[in-house]
Amino acid sequence: MANIDQLYQLYLESTGICTDTRKLQKGNLFFALKGPHFNGNLFAEKAIEEGAIAVVLDESAYYQEDKSFILVRDALTSLQELASYHRDQLKIPIIGITGSNGKTTTKELMQVALSAKYKTFATLGNLNNHIGVPLSLLSIDSSYEMAIIEMGANHVGEIASYCEIARPTHGLITNIGKAHIGEFGGFENIVLAKSELFDFLKKNNGIPFINTEDAVLKNMLKRFDNAVTYPNEDDFYAAKPLPGSIFLEMETNFHDKISTQLVGQYNFVNVAAALCVAHFFEVPKKAAEKAVSDFQPKDMRSQLIKNDKYNIILDAYNANPDSMELAIKSLSSAENTESVVILGDMMELGESTQLEHEKIGEIAVDLGISKRFYIGKMIQAAKKTDTFGQFFENKADLIAYLKEHPLKPGSTILIKGSRKNALEELLPHLS
């Protein structure tokens, strides 16, 4: 069995870590991970043939008497231990980030703001789980001056385990809401799980950045004497959409107006978080503001797509009751346009599934959304609160309907639902 020093030496000699032979590059160190539907041990020999410097595997049936084959008790545990060992070598601030909504957008805003002064690493995409966190850490080389590690969770104890690997020096919880409430087993458990990041910082003299617009997070202030808060009245006192626009504009106490390319007033706290963190690390004010102004959202997160007919807000990466309500509210504030929602099912709500989908119909009606389309089985519950909405079991039925009843040119359309809905597939039919 290999020890951690041997593994770390191989890591230093490698061109990076790989867990999928389809993405393997010459010189990678391959970890044969296992899951419910895959077994990396089956591909150990193939990884070597395709140029891996070595493979780390945990099933002796696939082991070969060769220095390129490293047998361990558990490949995932070894990957996590290697990441933890590497973390010990890094002498830079590491900011942990979690939250129910907005953590990826906030992470990316923080990265661009901090990058105005420092070479800043941030978790790629959604590599924020038990595999993604160690892979992210192992992507940080000695050239980086700062790092942001995103942490996702759907059960208690998960973020605590990531903190033991990443050992953040600073931390930020965007907010605490109802995301994955069915998996957590209740809102109280969501609070417990998300606050594990702050628990770690408290025990290790780390510094939390606390969103005081979130009542649950604001209540955690009393646990710290070194907390940094946002948004503060002396820093950010106004947030409003541009006249006739759905983009966020905000104003500072210096009367600077910051125009962003982010859709929705709900993004205010995300921008405020990024500027707060940048200010704490002494990034020049103007440079940080320009960075967030220039930031363009992507990956189906509040992404604005304009074509000859419509303005489309593609927010189809994920959805939960809180983010759904905020997105609909933002759409309702758009001026001089017909508002349209295309809403899909919200997953992992457990016993709250029926009630939360009913509420979404009520919200859309109360906010005066002109046309309301619902796709999926769960969201059929919104019929109870939206008797004049259009309901479809699948995307094909909605597409057929829109061919016969095209939307008014110039409409602003919000497309939002959980990832499983794949609502981005509607885009070719909205042009």
Residue 47 in 3-state DSSP?
helix
How far apart CA 146 and CA 129 sit, in angstroms, is: 20
CB 346, CB 357: distance < 8 Å = yes
Annotated ligand binding at 143? The verdict is no
Annotated ligand binding at 105? The verdict is yes
Annotated ligand binding at 103? The verdict is yes
Amino acid letter, 408: K
Q: What is the DSSP letter of 429?
A: G
Annotated ligand binding at 100? The verdict is yes
Annotated ligand binding at 195? The verdict is no
Annotated ligand binding at 293? The verdict is no
Please count the helices (runs of H) and the strands (runs of E) in the chain. 15, 21
How big is the CA angle at 68 (ends 66 and 71), to the nearest 5 degrees? 80
Residues contacting 113, CB < 8 A, separation 6+: 274, 275, 277, 278, 283, 288, 291, 292
Annotated ligand binding at 104? The verdict is yes
Q: Measuring CA to CA, which residue among 305, 390, 303, 298 is closest to residue 341? A: 390
- Other C-beta atoms closer than 10 Å to the C-beta of 227 total 17
Amino acid letter, 239: A
How far apart CA 355 and CA 382 sit, in angstroms, is: 9
Q: Which residues are annotated as a binding site?
A: 99-105
Which residues define the annotated binding site for ATP?
99-105
